Structure 1
Amino acid sequence: MKKLIENIMPGTTFITMFGGLGCFINNEIYGLIINDRFYIRSSNANISYYKKIGWLRHSYSKKKYNNTLTRYFRVPEEYLDCDKKLLSLITLELRQRSHELTRLQEDNESKLNKLPNIQRSLERKLKGVGIKTVEDLKSTGAVQVYSKLKEIEGDSLRKEILFCLEGAIRGVRKEVIPKHRKEELISYLN
């Protein structure tokens, strides 16, 4: 089986895992070889499809748990007997996985709490003043966002929040913002 995979996907590397071999191309796993059987790593989009057409799902047992299902599905012989079909299947899954990773990365990039200095409590306050995405924060600017928050919070809002916002926009912790920049930000408030 390893030879077949090497012929279809030149450049594949193999790493021992799940009692078999993980098949990787460009550091991305796409399948497993276990007991001379090939299992394709399913993208989120195709899991239900493989279940529907009756492909067997790989599972393994942990100490405390009887059976843990993985996202790997046993590829039928008809695919293994036809290089084009198998290559097409592997390529489809790699492409689909790439799209899923891109979407996940874009989703994380738009989440405010993925920025430095922005905890969930501050994120909720930001959403309360109309700042719902990273782009909203960057386009509005730290001083204007702080002013919006101050309208709601009043004098209880600490100036440290201004530095948190500036750091989030810059992608750094508030502690590394230069002193002259902090003074400049404060002067904009007056």
Structure 2
Amino acid sequence: MGKLSEMPNIGKVVEEQLIKAGVDTPEKLIETGSEEAWIKLKAIDPSSCLMKLYGLEGAVRGIKKKDLPQDVKDKLKEFYSNYK
């Protein structure tokens, strides 16, 4: 599939963090899922925020985070709030 940074919402910094967390390919990110990948990133970068979680979900779906359906955003926001 290519490099993580070729996925929507994944820049070089997040790509490096994902690789460090053991999520080193787009296929692995899709398999891991946004929530689990975000937990791994949170362990590396405690400042990982809700927007990063949205970005990961968008990458998994192949869309920009701004295009996520509202119900998906609501579910992710609940997950994020409960994780804190």
Same fold (TM over 0.5): yes
Separation of aligned partners in 1, 2:18 and 2:72: 22
Structure 2 residue corresponding to 1:159, chosen from 43, 46, 50: 50
8 Å CA contact 1:116–1:171 kept in 2: the answer is yes
2: CA distance between counterparts of 1:110 and 1:136?
Answer: 11
Q: Structure 2 length as normaliser, TM-score?
A: 0.89
Report the residue type matching 1:177 in the other structure. Answer: L
1:110–1:135: 8 Å Cα contact kept in structure 2?
no
- Give runs of aligned pairs for residues 37-52 of structure 1, distance below 5 A: none
Unpaired runs of 5+ residues, structure 1, are 1-108
Matches within 5 A, 1:73-152: 109-152=1-44
**TM-score normalised by L of structure 1:** 0.41
Report which of the two structures shows the higher radius of gyration computed on alpha carbons.
1
What are the within-5 Å matches in structure 2 for residues 10-21 of structure 1? none
Displacement of 1:185 in angstroms is 1.4
Stretches (4+) displaced over 3 A: none
Alignment size in residue pairs: 81
Structure holding more strand per residue: 1
> CA RMSD for the aligned pairs?
1.0
Structure 1: distance between partners of 2:77 and 2:55: 13
Higher percent of residues as helix: 2
